[in-house]
Amino acid sequence: MRRLAFAALAVVTAGGAIWLREKSSASSFSSYSDAQLDTLEVGYRAAMRTPPAVTSTAPRRDAAIDAELSLEQLQTERYRRTALRSLAVVTLLAVAGALLSTRRRTRPDRAEEGRLRKVMGDPAVLFEGERNKAARLLGVTPEAPPAVVDAALAAQLAAHDLGRLDGIAPEVRRLLLDQRESLKRARDLLVRGTSARPQQ
């Protein structure tokens, strides 16, 4: 979710930066450097402050008005450049945030894994415990070969023969069926579980 938010922010800010860059063609000051804009601003402000002479009131007033209008356009160009730079920085930060979020998702959180191990226990230890229980149920060792495990299962199933189910109470019948299923699961855990052993 965080990665999507960063990606959306990058798209929006990049779009705004592109739009502001295209607006430079509409500004007559886009080709000037920041230092040249400073020089022009000083000149425009001086023209606006110069009092008109008695004999040339109208021309001086027109010059002051032109200077004021030019200064407004110059300030608009400054705002455009500041906004463009800000959007470019935000876009770069958003892209970096999206990339870092992706990398964090692909790496396992070792601290979280450690906390889960404390609560749930080590999967490998739990797995070995289940194998030991299954071996005790079948009367074999956890490392017994598959043939030995199958022979032990056959002997246990014979001791829990389904032919004995006729005429017995439903509770005893259910218990006998559950015992047979437990024996089969124990066999599967010992024979097939070796290849599915959790990694340390």
83-133: per-residue pLDDT in tens? 888 888 888 888 888 777 766 555 555 666 666 566 566 677 777 888 888
Residues 103 and 123 in one domain: no
> Number of structural domains, the chain?
2
Domain extent, residue 182, equals 115-191
Q: What is the pLDDT of residues 123-144, one digit of tens each?
A: 777 778 888 888 888 888 888 8
Residues 80 and 129 in one domain: no
Q: Is the pLDDT of residue 150 over 80?
A: yes
Q: Do 77 and 21 meet the contact criterion of CB atoms below 8 Å apart?
A: no
Residues 138 and 187 sit within 8 Å (Cβ to Cβ): yes
Instruction: Categorise residue 121: left if φ over 0, alpha if ψ from -120 to 50, beta otherwise.
Output: left
| Pair 102, 3: CB distance under 8 Å | yes
**Are 28 and 100 part of one and the same domain?**
yes
Domain limit, last residue, from 107, 123, 156: 107
Q: For 1-31, what is each residue's pLDDT tens digit?
A: 677 777 777 788 888 878 777 777 777 888 8
Do 68 and 25 lie in a common domain?
yes
Domain boundary among 87, 107, 127: 107
pTM beyond 0.85: the answer is no
Is there a domain that residue 67 lies in? yes
Sign of the C-alpha dihedral computed for residues 106, 110, 114 and 117 taken in this order: positive
